[in-house]
Amino acid sequence: MVVRHLADFADPDSLLEAIGEIRRWKRLFKKYDNCHVGVLGKDQVRKAMTDANCGKEPSSIELACIMKFYGDGTHSLGLVEFKEAMECWSSYLRQEDDLRATIAHFNRSGTGKLDRWELRDYLVHLSRGAVVSSAEVDWVLSGSSILGDGICYPLELMRATSLWHASRAVRRPRQSSCGCIIS
pLDDT-above-70 percentage for the chain: 87
| In the predicted structure, residue 85 carries a pLDDT above the cut 60 | yes
Cα–Cα dist 51/43, whole Å: 12
| In the predicted structure, residue 76 carries a pLDDT above the cut 90 | yes
Cα–Cα dist 113/106, whole Å: 9
H-state helical runs in 107-174: 116-126, 134-144, 154-171
Three-state DSSP class for residue 12: helix
Lowest average pLDDT, out of 45-49, 157-161, 166-170, goes to: 166-170
**Strand runs (DSSP E) across 60-158, as ranges?**
76-77
pLDDT recorded at residue 176: 45
Give helix 154-171 / helix 134-144 axis angle, nearest 10°: 130
**Cα–Cα separations (whole angstroms), residue 32 to 27, 52, 155, 168:** 9, 12, 23, 40
When mean pLDDT is compared over 6-20, 50-64, 67-81, 168-182, the highest value belongs to 50-64
| In the predicted structure, residue 81 carries a pLDDT above the cut 50 | yes
pLDDT recorded at residue 175: 47
pLDDT recorded at residue 71: 86
| Residue 115 DSSP one-character state | -
| In the predicted structure, residue 4 carries a pLDDT above the cut 80 | no
Task: Tell me how far the alpha carbon of residue 20 is from its chain's centroid.
Answer: 24
| In the predicted structure, residue 99 carries a pLDDT above the cut 50 | yes
pLDDT recorded at residue 171: 64
What's the whole-model pTM score?
Answer: 0.80
Name the more confident of 12 and 171.
12
